[in-house]
Amino acid sequence: MLEELEKLRSDLSKEIDKVSSLEVLEELRVKYLGKKGYLTTILKNMGSLSAEERPKMGKLANEIRDNLNDTINSFGERLKQEAINKRISNEYLDITIPMKDVEVGHLHPLKETIRQLEELFLDMGFKVLDGPEIETVENNFNLLNTPADHPSRDMTDTFYFDPVHLLRSQTSPVQIRAMKKYGAPIKMISAGRTFRNDEVDDTHSPMFHQIEGLVVDKDISVANLKSTIDTVLIALFGEKLDTRYRPHYFPFTEPSLEVDVTCTKCHGVGCDSCNHTGWSMELLGCGMVHPNVLRNCGIDPEVYQGFAFGMGIDRLTMVKHGVNNLRLLFDNDKKFLEQF
């Protein structure tokens, strides 16, 4: 048996030098050390040894088994390292080559303005609510006290699906939904896309963005309205801003006002950007909520008063960044957007 064990060790040493892969090495391990391998076969004859020889031979067999295992494991590590070196050589990467610049995106100027406005109004205690873009004629016109013959109801101005449904022409229907759901008092804003058949010049588009606000409570006046509007516009454009309130007409507010701001470039002095008037384009409409609108939503106008306002987010963005064509905000021109 001693001779068989020594021969086993010698045979393994000869065979292992011919191994070229880990798979073949594993086959060799099974062949010599597996349950049906050479060493197991030899050890089955241990029972034929005398009681004195058996411990000595067992000790020797264990030593040879450990030696064989060490030899195989050591050779396996060498094969693994050779494989790694080969892979490194084949997959060489020159880290000295300058990598391409990674372009990091940013918010679209419109989205940035919407977020800034929402954060401003949240700080002032307003709720941010949302509503559907496909609205009913009832919410978009009827409950907002819009007369049946008002031009905004014409198919040349509003996009209708049928006599009952349309693409909302303003975000005011969200105010109707809010008053009907929450009642009074209420303090909310809503921002989103609106749609009108309007593209007469560079400052208009059939799809545009609005943010509208509503405050209904007891003892609300025009002074509260002006204070709110001035606070928001100064936060957007800076302390040097002046506002101008002009009388206007909206069917859902009485009295109604339009608001202009001083030119952000010349600060009211007059320049080419403002046609030397000192004032930028009209930014928003506002007014005290018409009593009929409050009644339509189940609110008693003898107890509660309110003010509402609507700002064109696209126009705010144009004034804020000095953009002279509204369509530039929707063209997704990379060169244009990179400026922001």
SS3 state of residue 145: coil
Cα distance between residue 98 and residue 77, in whole Å? 36
Tokens found for residue 242: 């002046």
Which residues are bridge partners to 109 per DSSP? none
Say what angle helices 109-123 and 222-237 make with each other, to 10 degrees: 130
Tokens found for residue 19: 């191994």
Check whether 254 is labelled as a binding-site residue.
yes
Query: Residue 199 burial by CB count (10 A; 0-12/13-18/19+): exposed, middle or buried?
Result: middle
Tokens found for residue 305: 């008063």
Amino acid residing at 208: F
Amino acid residing at 87: R
Tokens found for residue 176: 């109707």
Tokens found for residue 232: 């928001």
The annotation places the binding site at 254
Binding-site annotation: residue ranges for Mg(2+) = 254
